[in-house]
Structure 1
């Protein structure tokens, strides 16, 4: 995998590799240099090699990948992210790539099959010329961590205040600005944001301009989000652009009511008014309205939680996801 220091795809890569390890699948990984990520993978019993995955003249990474293929002789190679797919080494193995977005297929020409995390992404690759028989759908999974709820007092948040939580990169695609503006309409409601990214300074400035800074906590990037999910009353997911949306699964796994936008991934995934409330992208008023609906209407919140928890148990557990991958691997071998 070639990935950034933080991000949703990078987090899911670690989750999937460790899930494969727990299922007894023998594997090796090659990742962009990241000591923390490498340590987590090694702790799960998975051998790790680190490489540059540089943009230009990256002969070193190709050499590392070729050596791993010769030494390990895998049945299947699975690439995460564009550069990993573009550097897919030759060999007798099946060459697969997982697509977590609407990517340019020029990076995937060395791959035999694509695993798309949404039906929308699968439709996209087929529309752009990829053979339908070599494009497959397997969604992500989410698990609820064991950690207890964060102590609200440690984050200067009243125990009786409504608390909205959202995890995600501080990037325009995630629409944190829309969420801040919605919170400005909701007196007494607190917001915790777990994430980092290029828009951090602007978002902090916006929170101050809106007068909501005293009720907003920028938590930074959090590897372990369980304490924050557990402490929250509502999970908000306001993205402008979202190919899948694992946050939806996490809200369901933690038993929290979900209010999300109609971005591509959530729009495909959730069932409006059944397991989530769905608002138009960039609509501050609609987001504020539905957050308040969930806060005020405990019966509605309970219905959303019950339905979401059932969806998670039926479709999006770790065990189900791993079995879906293994079934595909068996079909393709």
Structure 2
């Protein structure tokens, strides 16, 4: 089986991180793989660390003819069975298969299908995205659900001392782009309702200064650490007590999976992805979207009952082991590739 992947995503993001994990995981199998990415030194280093040597192209706008020409040449030379594309621009720049290969696009959101009309199959990383594709007119037999996976690699705890956090303080962790969709403004308001709890917020984005000012206005700035973009997330999980995802809009909720994989109890706003993943009170706690009082109550609930927090972490780990490990998800991808190439044959 020969798989060629094209990715033209942003510098940071959940889809981009999962693409890297999947490419490295496929490299461990019997699949022959070629990977082409938008120029990104950090992503290229991460791929090389997993024994994947990427070709980097600009994936520019309409005037960028070189990327398209190079893609066609690479596809012709590699002669793949499947071309798997990620994000709108990579899909648009990648030629149609026309019987020579199967063109598949992986979608992690509710994208405009005008970029995907020449694909043979579409993959959604949630069942709801698959339902959206069918609702938009995509043939149901060519729309497929394949979940993401996260790794369970543990690390030594990050130093609380270096981040001016008391060793005995209850500590929340939250990860994500500092964007309106992530609702960190609601999280800060919730934190103001829970005295004594500290928050590590790892991520960058356009709202950073606004969120810092909000924390000052709420009087919680001494308990909040804005960490910026971090690569050592396993160390952050190890140092924290509870993971929280306040998102208004979260199609999947990779961060929920990460919390489970790292053995932490998870609290999440009941947005689409986390609401689908979490069974309230069993493998996590859900609270209404944009409700800082309910979120504050959820934080108090989990921190006040150690047995309950332990149950959440244990059941979350079991959910991860059942459905979202590398082994489980990679096998699903391999079976999918086998099926769609047999259908063509």
The TM-score normalised by the length of structure 1 is 0.98
CA distance in 2 between partners of 1:111 and 1:97 (Å) = 7
SS in 2 for 1:208: helix
The answer to whether structure 1 residue 111 and structure 2 residue 119 are counterparts is: yes
Instruction: Give the equivalent residue in structure 2 for 1:76.
Output: 82
1:235 CA displacement = 0.3
Counterpart residue number, 2:201: 193
1:217 to 195, 215, 225: 225
Q: Match for residue 18 of structure 2? A: 12
Where do 5+ consecutive residues of structure 1 fail to align? none
CA apart distance, 1:321: 0.6
Deviations 1:176-218 (A, max 9, x none): 1111111111111000011111111111111111111111111
Secondary structure (helix, strand or coil) at the match of 2:32 reads coil
- Give distance in 2, aligned partners of 1:219 and 1:313: 29
1:121 offset after TM fit, Å? 0.3
1:151 shift after superposition = 1.3
Alignment correspondent of 2:35 = 29
Deviation at 1:251, TM superposition (A): 0.7
C-alpha contact 2:96 2:119 (8 A) present in aligned 1: no
8 Å contact kept, 1:233–1:256? yes
CA contact (8 A) 1:69 1:89 kept: no
Q: How does 1:58-97 map to 2 (within 5 A)?
A: 58-91=64-97, 92-97=100-105
In 1, Cα distance between equivalents of 2:331 and 2:146? 10
TM-fit CA distance, 1:44: 1.8
Distance apart, 1:90 and its partner CA:
3.6
CA contact 2:253–2:274 (8 Å) conserved in 1: yes
What does residue 172 of structure 1 align with?
Answer: 180
Task: Note if contact 1:115-1:136 (Cα within 8 Å) is conserved in structure 2.
Answer: yes
Structure 2: where are the runs of 5+ without partners? 1-6
* C-alpha separation in 2, matches of 1:90 and 1:253: 37
Aligned counterpart in structure 1 of residue 280 of structure 2, from 272, 279, 292: 272
Cα separation, 2, equivalents of 1:271 and 1:93: 40
Quote how far apart the aligned CAs of 1:61 are: 1.4
Structure 2 equivalent of residue 240 of structure 1: 248
Task: Please list the CA deviations of residues 150-170 of structure 1 after superposition, one character each: whole Å capped at 9, or x if unmatched.
Answer: 111111000110000011000
Q: Distance in 2 between matches of 1:54 and 1:203?
A: 32
Any conservation in 2 of the 1:262–1:279 contact (CA below 8 Å)? yes
Give the aligned partner of residue 307 of structure 1: 315
Q: Deviations over 1:268-290 (max 9, x none)?
A: 11111110100111000000100
Q: Distance in 2 between matches of 1:55 and 1:265?
A: 32
Post-superposition shift, 1:107? 0.8
* Residue-by-residue CA offset, 1:225-274 (whole Å, 9 max, x unaligned): 10001111110001000110111111111110000011111111111111
Q: Deviations over 1:36-94 (max 9, x none)?
A: 11122123222211111223322121112112101211111101111111122244111
8 Å Cα contact 1:255-1:309 kept in structure 2: yes
Asked if the contact 2:282–2:315 (Cα under 8 Å) also holds between the matched residues in 1, the reply is yes
Counterpart of 1:286 in structure 2 is: 294
Q: Is the 8 A contact 2:154 2:262 kept in 1?
A: no
Give the match's secondary structure for 1:114: strand
Q: Tell me if the contact between 2:122 and 2:144 (Cα under 8 Å) persists in the aligned partners.
A: yes
C-alpha distance in structure 1 between counterparts of 2:229 and 2:88, whole Å:
23
Measured in 1, the distance between the counterparts of 2:236 and 2:49 equals 24
Aligned partner of 2:49 in structure 1 is 43
Q: What is the root-mean-square deviation of aligned Cα atoms in Å?
A: 1.0
